[in-house]
A and B are shown apart, each in its own frame.
Chain A
Amino acid sequence: METFLQQLINGLTIGGFYAVVALGYTMVYGVLKLINFAHGDMFMWGTLTGWALLTTVFASFTDMDVIAILAASVVVLAFIGVMGMTIERVAYRPLRSAGRLSPIISALGAAFALQAVARNVSDARWRTYPEGLLAELPNVQLTGRVSLSGLQVLMLVTCAAVMIGLYLFVQRTRVGTAMRAVSLDHDVSRLMGINVNRIISLVFFIGPALGGLAGLLIGIYYGSFNFTLGWVFGLKAFIAAILGGIGNIPGAVIGGFILGISETMVVAYGPDIGLADASAWKDAIAYVLLITILIARPTGILGETVAEKV
C-alpha cells in the first residue's frame, strides 16, 4: 500500500508535466485543428534555454537558486512564447487554407529544424543542470515511508497553478472566451470583431511558453537531458491531450495524469504480473493506452463528437 502511494505520487508528478505540455497541443488544436508537431521540440527548447541560462548567466546566483530559477523561468516563458509565435507566423499561417496534409508536413519540418539547431547548440551530448538546485526544500512526510520531496511538491504546485490559471483565463476573461469562439468558428469570430490572427498568435504564445516552463522544470527535476527529449515527451503529451479529448483543457489535464500514473504503475508493478522487462516497454504504454481508448471512445474521454471539417 505504501509503495503504491509512493508510486502514485511519482506518477502524479510526471502526469503534471504531461498535462502542462498537453495544454499547448490542445489549445493549438482547438484554434487551428492542427497537430503542432513542433510543440514537443519547443518544450525541449525550454529545457535547453533553462540549462543555458542556469549554467552561464545565472550561474553566479546558485546560492540563491530560487531567484535564479525564477529569473530563468521568466526568460524561458518569453523566449519560447515568441518562438511559438514566430513558427506560427512562418510555417502555419501561409498554409491556413491549404488542406490538411500540407500543415502536417510543415509542422514536422519545423520540428526537425528546431531539433537540429538544439542538437548543434548542445553538441548532441547529454547536458546536466547545476547540482543541488532547490535541495534545501523540505520533504513532506505523509506516512511512515511515503514522502514527497520538496521538488515534487513544487512541481505539482506549479503544474496545478498553471492549469487552474489557464482554465480560469479561458473560461472567465474576454480574450479567453474569444479563444473559445475562434476555436469554434473563424469567420463568425471575425464578424464579432475578433482579430483571429491575433488570437491565434496569442495561443501560440501561451501554449509554447507554458510548455517551455514545463521543460525548464523537467530539466531541474531530472537533472539531465539531450536534444531528443522533446520528441518522445511531446508525442506522449499529445497522446495525453487526445486521451482526454483534444481541444478540451480539463481533458488534457485528465489525460496527462492518466498517462503519467499508468506509466509509473506499469513500470513498478510490471514484474509482479509477469512483465519482466516492463521498463523497456515503458514507452509503448502510451501508445497502447491511446489505441484502446480511441477504439472505445473515438473522440477521447471528455471529447464530444464534432463533424470533421474538410
Chain B
Amino acid sequence: MNEALKRLPRPAPWMGQLALLLFAIALPYMGFMDRSRTSLAVFAGVYVMLGLSLNIVVGYAGLFQLGHAAFFGLGAYTAAILSIEHNITILATIPIAALVAGGAAMLVSKPILHLRGDYLCIVTIAFGEIFRIAVTNNAFGITGGSNGLFGAGRPELPLPWLSPVPEIVLVLLLIGHLLLTQRSGPVLQWGGAGVIALAYFLLPPLAGHDQVFVISMAMGLLAVAGVAFLRERGLDWRGQVIGLLVIVILFAAFGAARGDQLAASIDGNLDKYFNVQDPVTVLGVDVTPVAFKRDARPYYFLVLGFIIVTIVGMRRLQNSRLGRAWLYVREDQLAAEAMGIDTTQVKLIAFALGSAWAGVAGVLYASRFTVVAPESFNFLQSVIMFCIVVLGGSGSIPGVLVGTLGMVVLPELLRDVGPTFLYEGAGPFVILALILGGHLLSARDRGQAAVIETGLIGAAFFVPPLLLGEPSLYVIGLLMALAMIIVLPLLRRRTSNALPWVAGALAAYALVMIVIGSQFGQDLEREISAFRIMDWRDGLMGVAMVVMMVLRPAGIIPERRKGIVMSAVAEPSGAGPAVAVQQAT
C-alpha cells in the first residue's frame, strides 16, 4: 500500500503555499470568525511576525534571545509616543520604530555577543527585564508607568483611487514589471508594460467608477506576479504574453460587467470598516485619508500583507550570502571564523535585523490594540516567542506558523472550552477512539492480543457510566484507558501473556466503579463544572512544552537545511573534532 502511495504524484510545494495563502485570505469571511476571533487572528499575526523576526536570531544565527519582547515593546512604545504626542500617522512610524528597536539591539548586543550560549541567554533576559522595569517606572516620564499609554492612533491610509495614489502604484508596478522581464525580449517587456498601463487606466472609466482603481491595482499586481510565475515554470515569452493578456482581459471583462456592484461594495466596506476623514490637500493634491475603524478585518489584511512580505524576505535572506554565513556561525563558529566570516559582525546583523522587525510588529500591535502597557512585553511574552520558534522547529518558517497556532491561538481558544466536553456529547468517544487507535497502531504486530486488549479497555470504559447513568465517570474511564496503554508495554516486557492481568485489572476497575460510582460521579461532576481552565492554562502550556520537546526535540517541523558537511565527516572517525585536530598535528 505504501508503494502505491509513493507512486501518486505529489503536489508541488507552491500549490500548498497557494492553498495556504487563499485560506488566509478567505479566513476572516468564514462563518466561525466572529469579531473576537478575527481580533485573535490579528494578534496571532503579530506573533507570527515576532516569531519570524526571532527566527533570524535563534533559528538562523543560533543565538539565544530570551528578551525579544523588549524590542517588540520598544517598537510599540515608539509608535505610541510618536502617535500620541506628535500626532504622526501610526504607519508612518514604522521606519522610526524599526530604527529605534534595531539601533537599541545593536547598542546593547555589541558588548555581549561574544558571551557563551547560556550567558547570552541570561543577559538577554536581563535586558528584557530592565526594559520592563524601566517602562513600569515611567523612565524619562514618557512611558506612562505601569498603566502604559492609551490611545495610540489607528492606521490611516490615503483613499486609494484619488490621485496621485493610482499613478504612484502604477509606476511601481511598471518598474517591477520592467525589471522582472529584462531577459524576456522587448515584446513582453515594453508591450506588456503598455498593456498593463492601458488596462490600468481604462478599467475605471470603462466601469464608470473611480473606485475600480482598486481592481486595476489587483490586476496589475497579478499580471506582474503571473508573468514571473509562468517564466519560472519554464514558459517562453509567447506563453508569458498569453498569460498576461488572459489576466488583463479577464479583469477587464469582470470590471466592465460588474463595475457598479464593485463600486457599491467597495463603498459599503469603506463605511463598515473605515472612517473617511475630512478632505485634506497637500500641495493642492487631494489625499483624503481613511482611518481604520475598530473592526479587526482591515487590520487582519494589513498584518497578513506584512507577514507575506516578511516570509518572502526571510526566504531570500535564508539563501543569501548572509544567510549562509549565519548557518556557518550557528553550526561551527570556529570553522566560520577560519573561513573568514566576521562572526561578531554577522551575529550583530542578526540581532539588529531581528529586533528591528520585532519593532515593526510592535507598531502593528500598538495600532490595533491602542493600549501599550508593560505587561504585554514581559518575560512571559519573550518565552512565548522563543517557544514559537523552537517548538515549531528552529529555523523553519512553517514551524513559526505552527508554533504560533500552538502557543498563541490554542491557549486563547481554550478560554471558550468548558471541561464538561470531557463527558458530554461525543467528546469522550472521540478521545477514547484516539487513545485506542493509537494503541492498536503501536501494537499491530501482536495482532489478536492487541485487538482483545483494546476491546477489553473499551468495555471497561463503557460499562460503569452506562450502567449507572453517570456520564461524568467517562472522565475516570479516559484516565484508566490512558493508564492502561502506558502500562501495557511495560507489563508485556515482564510476562509473555499479559492478557489475564489486563482482564483482571479491568474487571477490578469496572467493579470498583460500579460500587462507588453513583456518589463519586456526582461529586466529580460538581468538581469538573467548577473547574476553570484558565487557571490552569499556563500549567497546561508548560506540560505541553515539556512533552513536545521530549517527543520532538528538533521541533514540529524541523528545518530541512542541514549544517554543511562537518557532522557527516567528523563523526564516523570516532570522537568528533578531536580526531581532526590530532590528524593535523
Using a CB–CB distance below 8 Å, which chain A residues touch chain B?
29, 33, 35, 90-91, 94-95, 98-106, 108-117, 119-120, 124, 231, 235, 238-239, 242, 246, 277, 280-281, 283-284, 286-288, 290-291, 294-295, 298-299, 308, 310
Is the pair B542, A294 in contact by a Cβ cutoff of 8 Å?
A: no
Q: How far is the CA of A95 from the CA of B127 in the complex (A)?
A: 28
- Chain B residues near A310 (CB-CB < 8 A): 332
B140 at the interface (CB under 8 A from A): no
Q: Which of B332, B391, B539, B545 is close to A115, meaning CB atoms less than 8 Å apart?
A: B539
Which parts of B123-144 form the interface with A (CB within 8 Å)?
123, 125-127, 129-130, 133-134, 136-137
Is the pair B546, A90 in contact by a Cβ cutoff of 8 Å?
A: yes
Is the pair A294, B546 in contact by a Cβ cutoff of 8 Å?
A: no
- Chain B residues near A119 (CB-CB < 8 A): 535, 538-539
B387 at the interface (CB under 8 A from A): yes
Q: Which 7 A-B pairs have the closest CB atoms?
A: A116-B539, A112-B542, A109-B545, A98-B553, A113-B542, A287-B126, A109-B546
Q: List 16 A-B contacts (CB under 8 A).
A: A91-B550, A98-B553, A101-B394, A102-B549, A105-B387, A105-B391, A105-B548, A105-B549, A106-B545, A109-B543, A111-B542, A114-B542, A120-B539, A235-B129, A295-B112, A298-B119
Is the pair B122, A290 in contact by a Cβ cutoff of 8 Å?
A: yes
Given known pairs A98-B549, A110-B546, A295-B112, the reply for A287 and B119 (CB within 8 Å) is no
Given known pairs A105-B391, A242-B119, the reply for A116 and B536 (CB within 8 Å) is yes
User: Measured between C-beta atoms, what is the minimum distance from A91 to chain B in Å?
Assistant: 5
Q: How far is the CA of A54 from the CA of B561 in the complex (A)?
A: 56
Q: Which of B112, B117, B386, B535 is close to A294, meaning CB atoms less than 8 Å apart?
A: B112
User: Measured between C-beta atoms, what is the minimum distance from A107 to chain B in Å?
Assistant: 9
- Residue in B387, B545, B549 whose Cβ sees the most chain A Cβ within 10 Å: B549
Is the pair A33, B544 in contact by a Cβ cutoff of 8 Å?
A: no
Is the pair A104, B542 in contact by a Cβ cutoff of 8 Å?
A: no
Q: How far is the CA of A100 from the CA of B63 in the complex (A)?
A: 11
- Residue in B332, B387, B542, B548 whose Cβ sees the most chain A Cβ within 10 Å: B542
Is the pair A113, B553 in contact by a Cβ cutoff of 8 Å?
A: no
- Chain A residues near B122 (CB-CB < 8 A): 35, 238-239, 242, 290
Given known pairs A102-B390, A291-B112, the reply for A110 and B542 (CB within 8 Å) is yes
User: Measured between C-beta atoms, what is the minimum distance from A1 to chain B in Å?
Assistant: 31
Q: Nearest chain-A residue to B134 (Cβ)?
A: A284
Other 18 A-B pairs with CB < 8 A, given A91-B549, A116-B536: A29-B118, A91-B550, A98-B554, A100-B117, A101-B390, A102-B553, A105-B387, A105-B549, A106-B549, A112-B541, A115-B542, A284-B133, A287-B129, A287-B130, A291-B126, A291-B127, A298-B114, A299-B116
Q: How far is the CA of A239 from the CA of B123 in the complex (A)?
A: 9
Q: How far is the CA of A286 from the CA of B133 in the complex (A)?
A: 12
User: Measured between C-beta atoms, what is the minimum distance from B122 to chain A in Å?
Assistant: 6
Is the pair B123, A290 in contact by a Cβ cutoff of 8 Å?
A: yes
Contact string, B98-118, partner A, CB cutoff 8 A, digits 1/0? 000000000000011011111
Given known pairs A98-B553, A280-B137, the reply for A106 and B130 (CB within 8 Å) is no
- Chain B residues near A100 (CB-CB < 8 A): 117
User: Measured between C-beta atoms, what is the minimum distance from A83 to chain B in Å?
Assistant: 14
Q: How far is the CA of A280 from the CA of B548 in the complex (A)?
A: 38
Is the pair A283, B133 in contact by a Cβ cutoff of 8 Å?
A: yes
Is the pair B541, A109 in contact by a Cβ cutoff of 8 Å?
A: yes
Q: Which of B134, B386, B539 is close to A112, meaning CB atoms less than 8 Å apart?
A: B539
Contact string, B168-190, partner A, CB cutoff 8 A, digits 1/0? 00000000000000000000000
Is the pair A105, B545 in contact by a Cβ cutoff of 8 Å?
A: yes
- Secondary structure dominating the interface of A: helix
Q: How far is the CA of A283 from the CA of B137 in the complex (A)?
A: 11
B121 at the interface (CB under 8 A from A): yes
Given known pairs A91-B550, A117-B539, the reply for A108 and B383 (CB within 8 Å) is yes
- Chain B residues near A33 (CB-CB < 8 A): 118
Is the pair A95, B549 in contact by a Cβ cutoff of 8 Å?
A: yes
Q: Nearest chain-B residue to A308 (Cβ)?
A: B116
Q: How far is the CA of A299 from the CA of B550 in the complex (A)?
A: 30
B377 at the interface (CB under 8 A from A): no
Q: Which of A103, A281, A290 is close to B126, meaning CB atoms less than 8 Å apart?
A: A290
Q: How far is the CA of A29 from the CA of B386 in the complex (A)?
A: 21
B58 at the interface (CB under 8 A from A): yes
Q: How far is the CA of A35 from the CA of B124 in the complex (A)?
A: 14
B64 at the interface (CB under 8 A from A): yes
User: Measured between C-beta atoms, what is the minimum distance from B333 to chain A in Å?
Assistant: 8
- Chain A residues near B541 (CB-CB < 8 A): 109, 112
Is the pair A95, B553 in contact by a Cβ cutoff of 8 Å?
A: yes
Q: How far is the CA of A235 from the CA of B536 in the complex (A)?
A: 23
- Chain A residues near B133 (CB-CB < 8 A): 280-281, 283-284, 287
Given known pairs A111-B542, A112-B541, A298-B115, the reply for A120 and B390 (CB within 8 Å) is no
Q: Which of A35, A94, A109, A290 is close to B118, meaning CB atoms less than 8 Å apart?
A: A35
- Chain A residues near B540 (CB-CB < 8 A): 116
Is the pair B535, A108 in contact by a Cβ cutoff of 8 Å?
A: no
Q: How far is the CA of A288 from the CA of B133 in the complex (A)?
A: 12
- Chain B residues near A291 (CB-CB < 8 A): 112, 123, 126-127
User: Measured between C-beta atoms, what is the minimum distance from A217 to chain B in Å?
Assistant: 25
Is the pair A105, B126 in contact by a Cβ cutoff of 8 Å?
A: no
- Chain B residues near A112 (CB-CB < 8 A): 538-539, 541-542, 545
Is the pair A108, B387 in contact by a Cβ cutoff of 8 Å?
A: yes
Given known pairs A101-B394, A105-B545, the reply for A235 and B125 (CB within 8 Å) is yes
Q: How far is the CA of A246 from the CA of B117 in the complex (A)?
A: 13
Q: How far is the CA of A75 from the CA of B134 in the complex (A)?
A: 40
Is the pair B134, A116 in contact by a Cβ cutoff of 8 Å?
A: no
- Chain A residues near B130 (CB-CB < 8 A): 284, 287-288
Q: Which of B114, B126, B535, B536 is close to A239, meaning CB atoms less than 8 Å apart?
A: B126
Is the pair A283, B129 in contact by a Cβ cutoff of 8 Å?
A: yes
Q: How far is the CA of A94 from the CA of B123 in the complex (A)?
A: 27
- Chain B residues near A120 (CB-CB < 8 A): 535-536, 539
- Residue in A33, A95, A246, A291 whose Cβ sees the most chain B Cβ within 10 Å: A291
Q: How far is the CA of A113 from the CA of B546 in the complex (A)?
A: 9
- Residue in A231, A242, A294 whose Cβ sees the most chain B Cβ within 10 Å: A294
- Chain A residues near B114 (CB-CB < 8 A): 298
Q: How far is the CA of A100 from the CA of B64 in the complex (A)?
A: 10
Q: Nearest chain-A residue to B119 (Cβ)?
A: A294
Given known pairs A109-B549, A112-B545, A281-B137, the reply for A295 and B121 (CB within 8 Å) is no
Contact string, B502-519, partner A, CB cutoff 8 A, digits 1/0? 000000000000000000
User: Measured between C-beta atoms, what is the minimum distance from A226 to chain B in Å?
Assistant: 14
Q: Nearest chain-B residue to A241 (Cβ)?
A: B122
- Chain B residues near A113 (CB-CB < 8 A): 539, 542-543, 546
User: Measured between C-beta atoms, what is the minimum distance from B313 to chain A in Å?
Assistant: 23
Which parts of B523-569 form the interface with A (CB within 8 Å)?
535-546, 548-550, 553-554
Q: Which of B117, B383, B536 is close to A308, meaning CB atoms less than 8 Å apart?
A: B117
Q: Nearest chain-B residue to A292 (Cβ)?
A: B111
- Chain A residues near B538 (CB-CB < 8 A): 112, 115-116, 119
Q: How far is the CA of A173 from the CA of B119 in the complex (A)?
A: 30
Q: Nearest chain-A residue to B532 (Cβ)?
A: A120
Q: How far is the CA of A112 from the CA of B537 in the complex (A)?
A: 10
Q: How far is the CA of A280 from the CA of B136 in the complex (A)?
A: 9
Q: Nearest chain-B residue to A101 (Cβ)?
A: B390
Given known pairs A91-B550, A111-B542, A310-B332, the reply for A294 and B123 (CB within 8 Å) is yes
- Chain A residues near B379 (CB-CB < 8 A): 231
- Chain A residues near B543 (CB-CB < 8 A): 109, 113
- Chain B residues near A104 (CB-CB < 8 A): 64, 121, 386, 390
